[in-house]
Structure formats: structure tokens, C-alpha cells
Structure 1
Amino acid sequence: MANSGSSGLLIWVSSILCLMCLSLGYNPVDNYLIDCGSSTNKSVGDRVFVDDQFYSNLLSNPHIIFANASSSPNSSAYNPSLFQTARIFNETSHYTFAVKKSGRHWIRIYFYPFVFRNYNLSNAKFSVYAQNFTLIKEYQSKVNPEVREFSFNVTSDRLVLTFSPFSNSFAFVNALEVFSLPDELIPPGATTIGPQGSYQNLWEHALETVERLNMGNKAVSPLNDTLWRFWDADGKYLKQSNVEKFLSDIKAVNFSKGVVTENIAPSSVYGTATILNTESDPMTNANVTWLFNVDPGFDYLVRFHFCDILPRPSARFYFNVYIGSSAVVQYLDLLNRTSDVGVPYFMDVITRVTGSRMLNVSVGPSNNVQYPNALLNGLEVMKISNSKESLDVLDSFSPESSKTKVILIVGLAVGLFIIFVLALVLFLLCRRRLADLSHRKAEDDFAMNEGDTIYTAGSKFSNGTPIFSTSKFGYRFPFVAIQEATDNFSESLVLGVGGFGKVYKGVLRDETRVAVKRGTSQSQGISEFQTEIEMLSQFRHRHLVSLIGFCDERNEMIIIYEFMENGTLKDHLYGSKYPSLSWRQRLEICIGAAKGLHYLHTGSAKAIIHRDVKSANILLDENFMAKVADFGLSKTGPEIDQSHVSTAVKGSFGYLDPEYLIRQQLTEKSDVYSFGVVMFEVLCGRPAIDPSLPREKVNLVEWALKCQRRGQLEEIVDPRLEGQIKTDSLKKFGDIAEKCLAEYGVDRPSMGDVLWNLESALQLQGNEGRSSHNGKMTEKVNDRANSFEASVSNAQVSMGSMGELSGVSMSKVFAQMVREEMR
């Protein structure tokens, strides 16, 4: 009995010691906790935030402006008392912290803009720097309290944090945390996902926490985390609400059998999970997807937390993990990674975000497994500083683009200055001659554009005085004219948002409606801006969107196009308020877009490769005539003695030619592949990539080709087209789409051949659903096709039916037809 009592006492003492160790949590070597603007210390859990005056010796600017909020904020994941006071800076000020331990340090900065006397903290404009990193380039006020969290390596014996107010403004901060991190927390590097994945070193980069989620829809307070982190509940980030299930079993977590510690994530994270809901259907095959808002133009470190806490006995399961449409890992077997259930495991990858402001993460069951399931316990998303050593979206331009932009602006400034001086000296002598030249140039431009009206900025906004324009580009509009046309870029006039920037509806003074595309600092860049203007200035075609002008004043990048009444093809296919299109309309739109692309490929000595063909870049006018748009990524085709152009891969994911993606060899057939994707979008009424769908349906091309080859194409047709498509028309359409999506470019048809087969599919459809607005155009094309058929018949080529024409190359024929339409 004595031995039993001693054993019991020993267990009791050990338990108490364990609890004491656990309560102590992590004890950082460097640890600065400052309640800014406060004159008293504040206890938050087991930590004490020291009053501001205690650390006043750390500040380069000891001038004190303390502010007090009239009331505590309504809600915050962190202790509300830390937001009640603030220190205000009227000039650039530096905190200099002594560093005892080199390595990664965390900086948490607390912000809550309240009103104090003459200071409305919501109006503060300032930047924040740490060492050589830009943490915040321009503070953006938020109504609710926020904590911004950054980490970076400190290799010296001090860490300098700088608050720099804008002129005639001020900076503020409510509280600060600066402390050293456990060595195991942030990896020295990670692998990027994608076809050309490589290892990226993180040692010289700063990180900013964008999202930190606890799955199972349960938030975790900083008081329950050894590193005082807040883990948000994942429910509001889920894309669906019918395929997932929340699970909790914190007791099942076992840190003792693995290498992961609670510093990586607490048991309250590993002990909860969001899993695939298989209760109603044990063979459910769907992905659980989370969506996040992020800043484009940056790399992101994404950390996945896993722990198998499924009830036992449960079958062994395998699942896939995705970021966007890219597989992070397939057939993930947690038991193989951890050797036992309940053992935590985490995985780090890096992904690049370009164009879109959305990042989606998915988990779903692997194919052909006996027990489909998937789970995720926690997720962290951290932005990685760019080559400018910045974490701010205002610095997301690439150095190369910025350098090019600076050179161009300086060149333009010098050139304009020289022109101004020469014009001032020679004005009186050359007045008549300049007037004659201007008149003659206007006549040449009118002739070049075949009588189309060209709206010069001078004709509307400068009392008839021509505005400087180059021989390559269109017409330059003054920025004030564009402001006027768009009601100072009113948000109510936004037509859409793309990688380059926002597109606004505008009305010029002569009542001409236009579309105004305004580039942003995180857009594709000045080279794309120049390319688009140059391309559109060279070509005029009824199926290419027309350029009206541009503006490059005040570092702006603005392009003005003809207004397209019915938006984009994508708008009418899925995900918008626009009405659906009939099958005949869809065919005619495909034919129009194919004509535009065929003209690009054959209308000049060198082919022009669009490089970004997608449904969002096919616009529809008031009569639903299709026009190809967005030439910012276009590229001149190969020389006569070359088969391709070697260039970096650019375009939109889901539409990229796999041959171009792998070999970086661009040809006209790359556009043909992308057009094939668009054709299946048109047929199925869904996007090219949709991670919310079951795994086999995520990629439209894979799914559609599988159905096409099985002879089951009618099963994936847009339900809104039910009963509209004739069998022969569908077969012809599916056959040519399949050929467009051949793995190798040499096996794909030309755009001329695609166009011919689409015309054939339209004829096979007959007159059902014919729309009056384009009936004459279709009849005109059909007449030409019939004439050509007769000529080929005379040449003893057997054509028993239109369906037998698919093997005949029509590139030259349609090139001639396109030129005739230009006359």
C-alpha cells in the first residue's frame, strides 16, 4: 500500500510539474511588450505589457503625445484594453531594441483608430519600416481593431522599427510586441508548387501573416497558444456549406510520438478539423475549399496542419491537397507520415499569386480509393517580401517593370521638353507648314482606318488643337478628359476588374460611349500597356475591339476602347446577372472570335499570337457580335525560317497550351489550344478550372475530353441548352474542340480550319434559333462557303456532305474572306 501511495504521489507531482511547464509556455530570450500611450502596466494572461514611459529610452523621438480612447473597442481577438491608448508621432521616430539572440523575431503592431482631441487617428498617413524591410508603405485605416504580424531575421545586436508620417500627417501605434521566435517555427526555405517547382530560400525575406485558421470552425484565443497567436475559425472562409463537417477531439492529439511541438500549433488546433462529410453518401467525391483575399504580385508561404483525429475504428484513407488548381500533394497518407493516429504533422509550400486577388485551398479524396475522406486541422498563409524588400501591395511592381517605367518617363519628359523648346523657337516660322502637315496626317489616319471615326483628344477637349501622338500609337487623351468621362473613376461605373486594373464605362463630351481600362500599381506593367496600344493601332477588324485612345499622364496607364454593350462572353456563360445565350448565339460568337484570331494569325507578314485567349477576353457588342480584346500579352510570331518563338510563359491558368508551358515555345497553335478551352466553356457553361467540383471535374479540359472520347458529350452540355442542339452540330463542334486541344501543336488545326468547321456546325444546326441581328452576316458567309464548295467540286474533290470538309485546310480561303470583309 505504501508503494502504491508513493507511486500515486509521484504521478500527482509529475502532473503538477507538467501543468506548470505548460502554463509557462514559450519564454523568448528577447521580449518587449509595450502598451503604447499608457502610464500603467497591463496584465494579459501570463504576460505584462509595460507602460510606454518605461521604454521611452528606446525611442529616437521622446516627445510624448499620449491618446486615450473614450471607450474600449467592441470586439477584438486580442485583449481590448491594449487598444484604449496610443502614442502619436508627428515626425519620423525609431524604436531601437537590443537583441540578445539572433534569428527570426516577431513584431506585432496593434492599431485602433479612435478620435482624441484634435487627432482623428483614422486620418493618419504613415509608413512602417523594420531594418531594411517595408512593412507598411501607406497605413490604411480600418474601423475595427487590428494586429499586424511580421517576422524576419535579425543578424545584428539591435532591431530598429521606424514610424514615418507623411507630410502634414502623423503616425500612431496602440501596442507593440517584439520577441524572438523558436528556431523550429519558420523554415529556412520551402518548395514552390507548379510545373517548375523549385526550392526558395526564406532566410533573407520578411513574412507577414495574412491568415491563420483553426479548422473545425472554432477560434483559438492567444491565451491558449504558447506563442500568443490568434487562430480564426474557418467557417466564414469556406466556399460551400454542404460538403464539410466539423470535428473536435483534443484529447486524441499526441505530441509525444512526433517531432512537432506546441510552438508549431497548439493541441486546440490539431484537435479540431474540418473533414469531408460522407454521412449521407459514403462514396462522396468532392473537395472542401477555403477562399482568401490576398494581394497579387507576391509569393506566399502556406502551412498546412494535419492530425488524424477521426473516430476509431476508421479505415485508412488517402486524400489530395490543392492550392488553386495545382496539386500540393496527392494520395497523402497521414499514417505513413506520422506512424500513428493523433500525431501532428505540418507541411510548408510556396505559391505565387498573380492577377487574381483570391487564393483558394482545397482538400479532397484521391481517386479510386475505397474509403474517400479528407481533412485539414489548421492553415497559415504568410506573405513573402518581394525583391524590393517590401510587404506592401504598393510595391508589387517587379523591379524590371519599375525600371523600364522610370526610363520611359524620363525619356518622355526629356523628349517633350525638347519638343516644347523647338516649338517655342520655330512657332512663327513653321505655323503654316505645321498646320498643313497636321491636316495631311489627319487625312492619312482617316484613310488608314477606312473611314472609321477617330476621336482625337484635341477634337473634343483642346479647342481643335491636335495633341501629340506617335506614329505607332493611337491618340493621347488628357487625364482630365478621362476623369470627366468616368465621373472621376466612379465605382458605380466599374464594368469589371482584371489583372491590369479596373475597366470603367465612360461617356465623352460628344456622347460617345467608351470603355476605359485603368492600370494599377500592381497590374501587368508598362510593357503590356505599350504592347496593347501598339497592336490595336496596327490592326482594324470587325472582330477585334477598336482602340480609341490612351493616356500616360501623371504616371497613369489608361487605354480607351469602343464600348461593348453586352460585356464579356464569360459574363453570359456563368456567374453573373447576364442572360444565358442560345446555342446558335454561342456558335456565332465562336465564329466571330475565330475570325478575329484568324486575322491576327494571317493578316500581316508575321503572325500575331494573342497569348491570352479566354472567355473573359471575348467581348460582345449590342448585337452580340464577338470581338477579341486584351492584347497586352500579344507577341509577334516566329520568322519564316523558325517554328516557334522562345519566350517566358504568360497567360491565364486553365487556358495555357501544355507544350508552351513545358517548353516555353510559343506558336499560333498556342492560341488554338486556348480557343479549344473556350469552346468547351461555351458548350458546358462553366469555368475552365473549378476547384469546388469533384476531383474528376475540376479541370474542364480533362473532363470534357474524357466525355468526348467516350461518346458522352451530350451529358456535359450546359443544362440551359437542353433540347437546342442538333446531334450533327454537337458532334462537329466536339470534334473540332478536341482537335484544338491536342497535346502537341503540330496535331492541332489552324484557326482557318477551326473557323471552317464552326461554320459547318452552324449550317448543320440549320435555321433554328436564328437571330435577326446577324442573319445577313451568316447568309453572306454561307454564300461564300457554297461558292467555295462548288469550286472544290470542280477540282474533283469529293464532298458528299459538309461534315466531310473537316480534313480540308481552309486557312488560305478564310484569309481571303477576312480581307474581303475589311473592304
Structure 2
Amino acid sequence: MRGRGSPHFALDSCKRLILSLLFLLAPLIIAEFQPADDFLLACGAGGGTALPDGRLFVPDSSSSAALSDCSSTALSSSAPPPLYRTVRAFPCPSSYVFHVAAAAQAGLLLRLHFHPFPSPSLNLSAALFNVSVSGVPLLSLFSPAAAAASPPRPLVREFYLKHNSSSLRLTFSPASPSTVAFINAIELFSAPDRLFSDAFTPIPSLFSFSDAPLSNHLLETVFRINVGGSFVTPDNDTLWRTWEPDDKYLQNPARAISVTFGNHIQYRDGGATPEIAPDYVYGTARAMNKGDSSNSSSPSNYFNISWNFPVPNSVHGFLVRLHFCDIVSSALNELFFNVYINGYPAYKDLDLSSQSSYTLASPYYVDFVVLHRSSTGGINISIGPSEHSLPSKINALLNGVEILKINGVVSSPNEDSRKSRHFGVIVASVLGCLILACAFMVLVVIMAQRKSRKDQMPQSQDADTWSPLPVLPGNSYLRLTELTTASPSNNPNLQLRVPFFEIVLATNNFNENALVGAGGFGKVYKGVLRDGTKIAVKRGTRGSQQGLGEFQTEIEILSKIRHHHLVSLIGYCEEQAEKILVYEFMEKGPLRDHLYGSRNPSLSWKQRLEICIGSARGLHYLHTGSAQVIIHRDVKSSNILLDENYAAKVADFGLSKLGTSTNQSHVSTGVKGSFGYLDPEYFKTQQLTDKSDVYSFGVVLLEVLCARPVIDQSLPWEQVNLAEWAMHWQKKRLLERIIDPSLKGKTNRKSLKKFGETVEKCLAQYGIDRPTMGDVLWNLEYALQLHERAVHQEPGGDSTYGPSDESSSSVLQVSTSAVTAMRDTSTAERHGKSSTDTVGLANKEAFRPGRNS
């Protein structure tokens, strides 16, 4: 067990003081984190190695982890720290297999220790190798000697991962037969609950991070900084981490002063814990140096303190965790300040009093997902005064920074694992259901009584009635709402309002067993209204600045349109600092889950074509079905949902943009969207058109055809980007080589050829060369008819992709009457007619015998 230091006093003179200290430290010792799984391996060692923090590393040869015979050991002749005096080397691929308990499936911390010390038997300085965990890359072409300083020093690489299997395989593979892989020590232990959650704010707020929850991604620690303090060694950290000082990253040091707190840090229920960061971090900080206003670098009290952290020189997403603890104020509500990341306002008017249950010296942390490109020159973090600060109380502070690189998903939880994980919760829920039912009955009665008085109360009072958290002056959410001019509160569609207590009833108080998804906006729950209607409830993350804009956009868009290929908005709730959207429930979930990453059965070619056609109809309606063009701006497979009959509906309009009219050529706006789907022309010019949706939909078509993610960094570099890789084969007219293996031999070659040509047009570099969504729809209908005609007329005779006798006809080749009919589609829908009927007439004309066949 890790020990905590205490002052050395003579027992006869300080006995009472020591007893008092032990009494104060007793709760901390009792509550110290004890991992369910704890593998500590001294690789190549002949005996146990004890560290100053009290932990014992056992030889890897005697551990429960399986070890390949393809290995050798070496002993250092120098005197590095004990853990780095032996090494296990591998001239060929070798693995450790760890058997982890169920508790570890919530998350694992993995630390790999390397030290390329001089050895007469092994050339460790020339080692170049790869490291993977259960097939997912951790380190690629890793050279410890190149990464270390000269002379070589020990290195530690730390990772956080989720793993839904009872065994974990850690593999070391030399890059070539002439080199070796090696490892000095391994730490693998179960992480505390909620060490990393799925709640974060994206920076900038112009991109959608990922379909998978953040906590399911592999995270690699890049920086861990004790701001304003000294080194924190593993024996003084609750999770045996190392925190380095911020001195070499601080910009313009004259603007900042170090602050040290001499009293107890007030950890509270529901907030930061010692496992999030130790009191050595929360007890030190950097604050504004206001005492030297004559300094030319800080001529007034209005300036920022900045840090710059050089991160890997490539395009990556990073998790940035900032730690705060108000150790400078003498009273509550004195400290308001702003936080900026890479120049973007990450947190405006941060009030630590309201975030820490109105307690001073109470720690608080917040997570951001930051898009980084090599041209930005690192991740820059700044803090500075807020306009809400009192002139005499202007200040800002920061206690700690963690930056972790976000890699691929190790394993995505499926429905079965979710059920297993929550089995104990289900049992407890059954035992407590009677109590819960009684509580809800009381809730309904109270709400009914308050409803009778509702007309006599101002609207704002109704919003405060059921607040689960204090909603007091100075709350960041309230200030954000007051500064927003387009609040849904002013929306004329008041009939869409859903009372908060109805949503609580429908979701069983947001029970985790009802959780069906999560994203940048928040979590999504399945619910059932009292009339039996199944609903999907999207609950915004409290305090998310991105969420408010998306919330308003969804209501503005979906309150104006209705279409059987667009997910319907049932209502919304804006009470008690909650932002909740209620939709119709789509039984089969996202299209993405039926293509890869789940146990759903493979879709047939006909099903895939019908899903693409339904999605295209929904997007075509957005572009042409109203006086204002609606550009979705986030078309991807996870935003196409399927009902119980596999009918497709487009969803998630939080990033959508309204044009002024259907004649407008483009909308100038900041770039928003998702990696892999983003229109390159829009990215370069920031001019958004409906052709940007066409490009994204073309990527979705490839996703449907190939059944793989659009960005997969675990693949060879030429295959990472699906659009680039697929177009390489499409231009060679060999697209059949990369289609979903379950489709091979089951697709009509002419149908597949037309599908590939459609995709190629959608992915044209310039929007002017891309078809409209109406054109795309016609060609998908044509591809389906080619497939069905082959099935009915030539069973088994024309099912595979091969050289086609079909002429290389234009994707846009349709009859004049068909064009006229399709252009009338949006008019028919505005007058209440079914778009399906109108489109059907157009398709009959476009694909009549003798044309394009």
C-alpha cells in the first residue's frame, strides 16, 4: 500500500499532535483506492522488486500472465532505479495474457516501462517494435532510445482502455527480424469508477467527435501537469501517477504567481475525488500576478495566463482535462474567470462556487475534446478575468492539466455486455420498484397541485420548481441562457413542450438500463409515455455550451417540417437547467450498428439499397421541400436511424443550417461536421451548400457497401480513409474487391456498377460537379430496379460483379418528364401529398424499358 508522509516529531513532545494527525488521516487511509485487478510485473527479474510507494513488482516468469517462450533476459551493469535493472526482450512476436475480473471491465490503466540500458548481450538502443493490446495498436514503430534523452533514461507510456473480455493480450512485435522488442516492467490495474466519463465539450464546437462514447476509446497520456506546484511522485498520488511542474510550458511567467494552500481540500460527494487528482495538485495553483502592474508584460489587471503544450505533429483528437480548486478566495462568489483553448472560449464566466456546492477549496474538473492539427503549433490553454468579476476581485487560477491522445476504440459495448454489466442494478431496481412507484405517485400528485397554480406564476418560476441542483444567482447556465436571444422559451411551438416529470416517469428517472446511446450533446434514453408511446429522450449535458445551440436548432428545424423519412420531434423540455429533446423511438437504432461493430445480422443488398433510398428521400426533402433550404451538415451512418421494418429516417439536426431561399448559392459559415464525412470544398472555403450533404451521403454509401468505419487508424495508411481508398478502386472499376464480404456473389453486377458510379459523382472534388440529392435518389432507385429485375428474370445468372455490357451512361441520364415530375415532388409535399407517390411516378418514367438498361 502506498504510504503518506508525515512530519517527524519526537514522540514525547508531540504525541497528542501525532494522534490528531492520525485521526485526520484515518478516513483517507481507509478510503484509499484498492484496484480489483492489480498486475505488477518486473520483467526479466529473478525476484520481487519493492518500490518506495510500497508496491511489490513480481517476476513476470512467476506471474499469472502467460508468457511466450520467444524471449530472453538481460541485467543492467549500471545502477538505474530498481525497476529498470532487468529487461525482457523478444526477438519474435510475443504476448502476455492477463485474466481480468469483471470489475476491471469498467476500465483499465496500463503503464509500460522502458529503459534501453547498455547490455553486452542485447542491442536495446536499436530496438524498434510495435505494441498492441488485443489486436489494437498502442505503439507503432516505437524506439525507446529515440524517445529518451541522452544518455538513455527510463520511459513510461500510460494508457486507459476498456475491455469487455475476461482476458487481455498484450503483444510485443519487433519491426524486423534484425531488431528486438523489450519491456522492463508492466502495470495493469482496474481503474476507479467514472475515472473517464462520456461528458465533454468539443473544442472548437464545430465538429462532432465520434459515434463511440469517449470512455470506450483508447486514451494515451501525453501530459500530466501540477500547475504551480512541484513534482508529484507515484508514492504521493492515489493512482501512482507522476505530475510534472508547469514551468517549461508557462508563457510569460511574469504574469503568474504560484499559490499554495495550507488547509484541507474539501472533497465532496459527486465531485472530484482523490483518484481524479490528489490534494498535492488541488492544493497548488497559478493565479494572476496583479501585484506588479508596472510590469510591461502585465500593464493592467486584464490579461491572460497562458500555457503551450507541444503535442504529436499530426491530426489527432485530444482529451484535455483541467483541474480547478478555489484556494485564493476569502469568500464565495468572488472568483469569475474565462478559460480558452487554442483561442476558442472553452468556458465563459466559470464560477467555481456554483460548481462545488458553494464550498471553498472544493475541487472541480472539466473535460474537453480538442481537435488538433499540426499547423496550430501545440495545444494552448489560457485563463483570464471575466466581465462578471468585481474590480477588486479580478483573478483567475488553474491547478492542474492532463492531456491524453484519443486513439481508436478497443471494444464497443454491445447490448449483451450492457445487460451483463447492469445485472446487479436490475436486481436492485426490482427490489426497490415499489418504493420508486410510491415516490412517483407522490410526485404526480404534487405536480398536479402545482399545475393548478401554474397560470398564476411567472414562467421562470416554473423552471425553478423542480430543480435537482441549486439554481442560484451566478450559475453559469442561467447566465448563458440570459445572453441567448433565440431561446426556445420564445418559440411559438409551445404545444411541443413536455413537462419534466413526464420525462422522469417515461425513463424511470433516467435509469441507466434505459440508456441506448451517447454523444457530444449528451445521453439518449429509451422511454415509454403513459399512453404507451415509445420515445427516445436526448438529455443534454448540463453546462454544455455546445448543447444549447444544438437544442435550439433541432427545435427550430423539426418544428417546421414533417416527413416519413425524417425522425419526428415529439417535444422538448427546458426546465430546471435541463435541455431535453423527445423523439419518436426507432426500434432498430442507427444504420452504423447494422454495418459493423455489433452482432446484428448482415443486411442484404436489397435492404441496403432501400435504406439508402429512404435516406436520400429525407435529405432531398430537406433541400427542396420548403421555402428555405435546410442543409443537414452532419450526414453519417449513425445519424440514419431504422424503424422496426428497417425503414430509414434521417436524424440529429443540431448542426443543420437554414438558407434564405432555394435560389441561394451558398451559406458562409464556420466548418462543422464529422471527420471522414466532411466536404473538402466546404472545409477549404467555409461556403456551405446542399452539395456538402451530397458529399457526406456519398461517404455513407461507401460505408453501406464496404461495412467498415470511414476512418480506421488501425489499418495500413492507404486504407485509413474509406473515401480515398474506395475511390482508388472505383476509378479502376474494381470496386467489387473491397465490398462487404457478406455481399460477394449476392449483388447484380449492373446494380453494383450503377451504385459505384453514383458514389463517384457524389465524391467529386467540387460541389458543382456533384449531383443533387434528387439525382442521387433516381440512380439509387435505378440500381434497386436493376437488382430486382435480375432476381426475378435471371435468378443466379447475373448475380456477381463482372465486366458489364451496359454502356457507360451518365449518372444523370433521365427523361425530361421524369425531371419535371421530380421537381414537382417538393410542391406536392408542401400541399400534403406523399412524396413516395410522386417519386414513384418519376421513377417509372425514368426507368421505363429501353432507357438506361
Report the TM-score, using the length of structure 1 for normalisation. Answer: 0.49
Greater C-alpha radius of gyration: 1
